[in-house]
Amino acid sequence: MSIKKKFLGVIPARKGSKGIKNKNLILLDNKPLIQYTLEAAEKSRLLDLTIVTTDDPGVIELSKEFNVNVPFRRPGHLATDTASSLDVVLHALDHLETNEGYMPEFVVLLQPTCPLRDEHDIDSSIEQYLEESKAYGTESLISVNVPSEHPFDCICIDGHDMELAFEKSEKCCGRQGFSQFYFMNGAVYITPVNTLRKKGLFFDKKQKNSFYVMHQSHSIDIDEIFDLKVAESLLQTGNVIRNMEGME
C-alpha cells in the first residue's frame, strides 16, 4: 500500500507514576519498558515521524539511542497525574508546527505501557484505518481486544446482596450465547489532527470509527507489578501471539 499521508507517532512518557515507580524505565525481560514501544516505532514502515513527550532525563537518553525524536522537554504542568493525554498531544503538535514547521495529518498515540504491541500492529492499524476511512468514512481508529471476563458475568455486591452489573439483552445459553464485547486496550489510537483540535477528542463515539482487534497477548497494559510479570512470562515462553492467530 502506498502511504502519502503524514502519520505522527506520539509516545507520552512522564516521569511520575503511582502504580509502579519509574514505570517507563522498569525492566521487562531485561529491557526498559518504554524500549519496546521505541523499537516498534523505529521499525514501523508507515509512521512519518515519531516523537517522545517526556520530562524524564532517562527516557530522553534512551529515546536518542533508537532515533526517536525528543524535540522538547515536557513542561511541568503537563507532567502531573491530572494532565490529560489530549493536552499533552496538542502541546506537542503546537511545538512542532511553531518550531519546526511540521504539520501531520494524523496522530498515532502509542502508550509505552502497552509493550507487546509491535510494529506490525502499528502498520496494520494505519493500513486498516486508511482503507476504512476511505470506504466507510470512519473518523478515528481504536485498538481493542476480546476480554477474558465477559461483562454479563459481572455482578455488583452490596453487603451480602448482589445484582447483575448488566442485564442480559437477549436469551443466552451459557457464554457461547453472549453478545461479543471488546475492550479498548489503549495500545493504538489514530486520530486526525483536525478532530483533536476542533473536537478535543481522540475518538467521537457518535461518529463511525475503525476498530483494530488485537490478540490478548499483545494487549497487556502495564499498570501493576502483576501485569509486568504476566508480560514477562509471555515473552519468556514465546506465547506472544501476533494479530488474530489463536483467537478462535
Q: What is the CATH number of the domain that holds 64?
A: 3.90.550.10
Same domain? 165 vs 54: no
pLDDT band (50, 70, 90) for residue 187: very high
Cβ-Cβ contacts under 8 Å for 49 (sequence gap 6 or more): 6, 8, 9, 69, 102, 104
Same domain? 153 vs 103: no
Mean pLDDT, the chain, whole residue set? 91
Same domain? 141 vs 158: no
How far CA 38 is from CA of 31, 87, 134, 188, in Å, comes to 11, 22, 29, 14
Question: 169, 154 in Cβ contact below 8 A?
Answer: no
Mean pLDDT of 188-213: 97
Mean pLDDT of 20-34: 95
Same domain? 174 vs 107: no
How far does CA 190 lie from the centroid of its chain? 9
- The residues with which 164 forms a beta bridge, in sequence order, are 155
pLDDT band (50, 70, 90) for residue 173: very low
Q: What percent of the chain has pLDDT over 70?
A: 91
Question: 110, 40 in Cβ contact below 8 A?
Answer: yes
Kindly tell me if the per-residue pLDDT of 178 is higher than 90: no
Residue 171: per-residue pLDDT: 47
In the block, which residue shows the cell 470512519?
Answer: 138
Query: Would residue 152 count as lying in a domain?
Result: yes
Residue 4: per-residue pLDDT: 65
Same domain? 174 vs 214: no
- Number of domains into which the chain is organized: 2
Segment among 76-90, 145-159, 212-226, 231-245 with least mean pLDDT = 231-245
Full residue range of the structural domain in which residue 32 is found: 7-146+182-237
Same domain? 154 vs 44: no
Query: Would residue 246 count as lying in a domain?
Result: no
Query: Would residue 1 count as lying in a domain?
Result: no
Question: pLDDT for 30-50, tens place per residue?
Answer: 999 999 999 999 999 999 999
Query: Would residue 243 count as lying in a domain?
Result: no
Query: Would residue 245 count as lying in a domain?
Result: no
Query: Would residue 244 count as lying in a domain?
Result: no
CA–CA gap between residue 20 and residue 77 (Å, rounded): 21
Kindly tell me if the per-residue pLDDT of 72 is higher than 80: yes
Q: What percent of the chain has pLDDT over 90?
A: 75
Residue 168: per-residue pLDDT: 62
Question: pLDDT for 88-123, tens place per residue?
Answer: 999 999 999 999 999 999 999 999 999 999 999 999
Kindly tell me if the per-residue pLDDT of 18 is higher than 80: no
Residue 2 or residue 178, greater confidence: 178
Mean pLDDT of 181-205: 96
- The string of DSSP letters for the chain reads ----S-EEEEEE--S--SSSTTGGGSEETTEEHHHHHHHHHHH-SS-SEEEEEBS-HHHHHHHHHTT-B--SBPPGGGSSTT--HHHHHHHHHHHHHHHH----SEEEE--TT-TT--HHHHHHHHHHHHHHHHHH---EEEEEE--SS-GGG-EEEETTEEEESS--SS--SSGGGSPP--EEEEEEEEEEHHHHHHH--S--TTS-EEEEEE-GGG-----SHHHHHHHHHHHHHT----TTTT--
Q: What are the cell numbers at 64?
A: 536518542
Query: Would residue 176 count as lying in a domain?
Result: yes
Cβ-Cβ contacts under 8 Å for 154 (sequence gap 6 or more): 164, 165, 166
Mean pLDDT of 135-150: 94
Same domain? 210 vs 164: no
Same domain? 161 vs 53: no
Same domain? 11 vs 62: yes
CA–CA gap between residue 231 and residue 70 (Å, rounded): 27
Query: Would residue 2 count as lying in a domain?
Result: no
Same domain? 80 vs 164: no
Same domain? 174 vs 141: no
pLDDT band (50, 70, 90) for residue 247: very low
Kindly tell me if the per-residue pLDDT of 1 is higher than 90: no
What sign results for the dihedral spanned by CA atoms 14, 15, 19, 25? positive
